[in-house]
């Protein structure tokens, strides 16, 4: 395999020079942490005041990281990516709306996404958050409850509430199984993750008998997740289903450490990045070593981890389009990874959120913070864009 993540011609072939210059401006801006900190605090407030800043957001950060405001608006992006053999994971990016009515509405939206994805050639997956279907407080209560087999305790109201959550998830997974669309269940903070894990495993046991429909997500910046992967695999073997696992490093590190410190318990987060990288690559190896029973999605912006997975597939003689190994990066980031992997015939998707601009602000603020705080991420994106612009200028 001849993969080079330095190949910017492949990475940005789908982008016009004008769009590349816009991306250069955006990543330059994200390089100033103070500006990002101020912007992420002010933007949600300014949106609530009704000030006309929609246009500015739409032309910059929204355009870079979001597929559109509606399902239909994602179509041109999906078509463009498809020309370069890059698939799409659709994500209804609306967050933080609690209440039974909102949960039922979100369920309907997820099913709309599944139905739409099933009519498109290159949308094999959709993504959901259990916090879109359940109250945060309920998940936290269940997380702290005695580990009964049922996963609940003796409060009748909360048992009924949890049953409604399970029913919503069942309806979504059933629709996905019928339409041959994978369901990727996002990870949550550690104090809400346990019921999400149990619900994910329950759905896998029902729907993953013949193929991987449901995928759980493990965050390898937690020091207990490699062990959890091993336990999950053993349960899958015992219960006779295919384990679906999306591997990520994680998204809540600072919040996790602060909460552990404030409440006086051991932090679930790895002590160093090196330990996180070690466990992430070990998880890749574990999944590929058990490829007959585990379907994994290598969801990473780390170049070395993607090479570990790709090279391991070659060493073991695993077909590049094997249905149990998939790669994924966020739309608007790490195009040098996505498009160069796709060029080698590996299965790759971009995670593509959509939703009304005011509703996807929390997602966009996280992207801004992530790019400014992850060591070297903004600089790497910027250097690749500059390299490609120089290459085009020299033609």
At residue 189's C-alpha, the angle toward residues 188 and 192, to 5°, is 80
- Whether residues 240 and 387 share a domain: the answer is no
Using the 8-state DSSP alphabet, how is residue 271 labeled? S
Question: Which residue segment(s) compose the domain that 47 sits in?
Answer: 1-64+358-395
Half-sphere exposure of 170 (CA within 13 A, CB side): 9
- Whether residues 60 and 121 share a domain: the answer is no
- Whether residues 74 and 41 share a domain: the answer is no
pTM: 0.92
- Residues with Cβ < 8 Å from 259, sequence gap 6 or more? 189, 191
Q: What is the pLDDT of residue 149?
A: 45
Identify the three-state secondary structure at position 230.
helix
- Whether residues 180 and 329 share a domain: the answer is yes
- Whether residues 143 and 231 share a domain: the answer is yes
- Whether residues 331 and 261 share a domain: the answer is yes
Half-sphere exposure of 46 (CA within 13 A, CB side): 14
The alpha carbons of the chain give a radius of gyration, in whole angstroms, of 21
- Whether residues 175 and 256 share a domain: the answer is yes
Q: How many domains does one find in the chain? A: 2
- Whether residues 245 and 314 share a domain: the answer is yes
Q: How far is CA 107 from CA 113, 121, 135, 151, 201, in A?
A: 10, 23, 14, 22, 19
- Whether residues 33 and 118 share a domain: the answer is no
Identify the three-state secondary structure at position 359.
coil
Say which CATH number the domain at 336 has. Answer: 3.20.20.220
Which residue's entry shows tokens 């404030």? 262
**Which residue, 109, 101, 76, 132, is CA-closest to 363?**
132
Residues constituting the chain:
395
CB 73 within 8 A of CB 354: yes
- Whether residues 86 and 150 share a domain: the answer is yes
- Whether residues 177 and 278 share a domain: the answer is yes
Q: How far is CA 27 from CA 53, 341, 358, 378, in A?
A: 19, 23, 22, 6
Percentages helix, strand, coil for the chain (3-state, rounded to 5) are: 55, 10, 30
**Which residue, 236, 203, 204, 231, is CA-closest to 133?**
203
- Whether residues 97 and 120 share a domain: the answer is yes
Going residue by residue through the chain, which has 395 residues, state the pLDDT in tens, using 9 for 90 and above. 789 999 999 999 999 999 999 999 888 887 766 666 666 666 666 666 666 667 778 788 889 989 999 999 999 999 999 999 999 999 987 766 789 999 999 999 999 999 999 999 899 999 999 999 999 999 998 888 765 445 545 566 788 899 999 999 999 999 999 999 999 999 999 999 999 999 999 999 999 999 999 999 999 999 999 999 999 999 999 999 999 999 999 878 888 999 999 999 999 999 999 999 999 999 999 999 999 999 999 999 999 999 999 999 999 999 999 999 999 999 999 999 999 999 999 999 999 999 888 777 777 776 666 555 455 677 889 999 999 999 999 87
Which residue's entry shows tokens 């049922």? 150
CB 354 within 8 A of CB 92: yes
**Which residue, 38, 33, 44, 84, is CA-closest to 377?**
33
């Amino acid at each position: 395999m001849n993969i080079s993540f330095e190949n910017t011609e492949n990475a940005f072939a789908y982008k016009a020079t004008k769009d590349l210059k816009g991306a250069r401006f955006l990543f330059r801006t994200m390089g100033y942490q103070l500006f990002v900190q101020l912007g992420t605090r002010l933007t949600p407030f300014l949106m609530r005041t009704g000030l006309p800043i929609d246009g500015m957001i739409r032309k910059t950060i929204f355009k870079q990281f979001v597929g559109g405001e509606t399902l239909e608006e994602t179509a041109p992006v999906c078509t463009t990516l498809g020309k370069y053999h890059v698939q799409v994971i659709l994500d209804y990016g609306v967050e933080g709306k609690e209440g039974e009515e909102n949960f039922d509405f979100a369920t309907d939206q997820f099913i709309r996404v599944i139905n739409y994805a099933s009519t498109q050639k290159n949308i094999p997956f959709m993504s959901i958050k259990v916090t879109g279907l359940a109250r945060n407080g309920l998940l936290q209560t269940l997380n702290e409850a005695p580990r009964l087999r049922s996963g609940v305790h003796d409060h009748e109201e909360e048992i009924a509430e949890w049953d409604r959550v399970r029913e919503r998830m069942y309806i979504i997974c059933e629709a996905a199984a019928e339409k041959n669309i994978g369901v990727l269940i996002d990870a949550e903070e550690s104090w809400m993750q346990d019921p999400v894990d149990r619900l994910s495993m329950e759905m896998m046991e029902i729907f993953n008998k013949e193929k991987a429909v449901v995928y759980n997500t493990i965050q390898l910046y937690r020091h207990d997740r490699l062990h959890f992967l091993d336990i999950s695999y053993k349960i899958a073997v015992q219960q006779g289903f295919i384990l679906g696992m999306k591997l990520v490093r994680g998204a809540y590190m600072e919040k996790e450490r602060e909460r552990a410190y404030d409440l006086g318990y051991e932090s679930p987060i790895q002590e160093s990045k090196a330990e996180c990288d070690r466990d992430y690559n070990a998880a890749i190896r574990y999944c590929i070593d058990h490829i007959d029973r585990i379907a994994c999605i290598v969801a990473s912006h780390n170049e070395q981890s993607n090479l570990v997975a790709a090279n391991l597939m070659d060493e073991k003689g695993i077909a590049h389009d094997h249905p149990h190994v998939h790669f994924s990066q966020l739309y608007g980031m790490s195009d040098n990874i996505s498009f160069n992997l796709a060029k080698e015939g590996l299965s790759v998707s971009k995670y593509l959120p959509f939703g009304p601009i005011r509703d996807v602000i929390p997602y966009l603020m996280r992207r801004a913070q992530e790019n400014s705080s992850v060591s070297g991420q903004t600089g790497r994106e910027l250097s690749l864009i500059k390299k490609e612009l120089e290459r085009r200028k020299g033609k």
